[in-house]
Structure 1
Amino acid sequence: MASQMHAIEGQTYALCANSPVSQADNDRNLPRTDQPPQEGRWQRPAWGGAAAVYAPDGRRLTEPADSAFDGLIYCDIDIDQIGNAKAVVDTVGHYARPDLLQLLVDDTPRKHVVRRGGRYEVAGTLLSAHKPLSNLVRCETQHDTE
């Protein structure tokens, strides 16, 4: 599925190549113990054969192979299909539009610490910059009675 998604997202042909794994190869990958393998382990008995070619629109172009198939798969591809897929799904084209996206670089040298007057200036606390709630309520009440 990852190869199919790569084909769709990249609007390109994707080749998924792998080799079948025989039971003997699978057994060599198991830990060496005297106990038999546990049921449900990730190792499957003789598997593989999932090689495929996917088109830019995600279609599988090759027939599914037998899981024990050990050989080559091939198919004809049409390079023009890449352009057709890119015209339908433009995953990166909007980044080329300066009216939608702009990268601004300010390369002015900056310092992490800025001192003013030889000492750090504190503008007070956040609460000191605002009126208390009781004053705001009093002002609204006076405004309503006028």
Structure 2
Amino acid sequence: MERFTVAVQTAPFDAGAELARLSADPAVGALVSFTGQVRDYGDSDGVVALELEHYPGMTEKALAAIVDDARARWPLSAATVIHRVGRLALGDAIVLVVVAAGHRRDAFAAAEYLMDYLKTRAPFWKKEIGHDGSARWVEAKASDEAAADRWAGEEA
């Protein structure tokens, strides 16, 4: 079984199956997961969907590099990153990060690191689709950039 995997796909993923796959190793003492989904902002713009685009090949390499960086910082047993692309409706899962480690502190830190870098450094382009069919590109938020920047000077 591949212990460190990344995938970019249009199809939904099964978070439970991914958790079960990584927890099968008896050396795993901690398993941390994060699932991000399309949310309703409840604003007047009436966003009904997101469209995510990427460059096939380049995106997978970038995700693998982010996972490799996490592996260099923490003693991880396994990690899975799955990111969806295409049109996603409200409530659809967008991203899954699962990290397995011997200890919870390493698993929590690595999962947070992976998400911070996925939000800011991974080559995805996100467009919000309004109820009237309008579309607007979404930029990274300053708070997401600050979260990722804090890792630059921090050692595991």
- TM-score, reference length from structure 1: 0.20
Give the number of the structure with larger relative contact order, counting CA–CA contacts within 8 Å between residues 6 or more apart: 2
- TM-score, reference length from structure 2: 0.19
> If you compute each CA radius of gyration, which structure gives the higher value, 1 or 2?
1
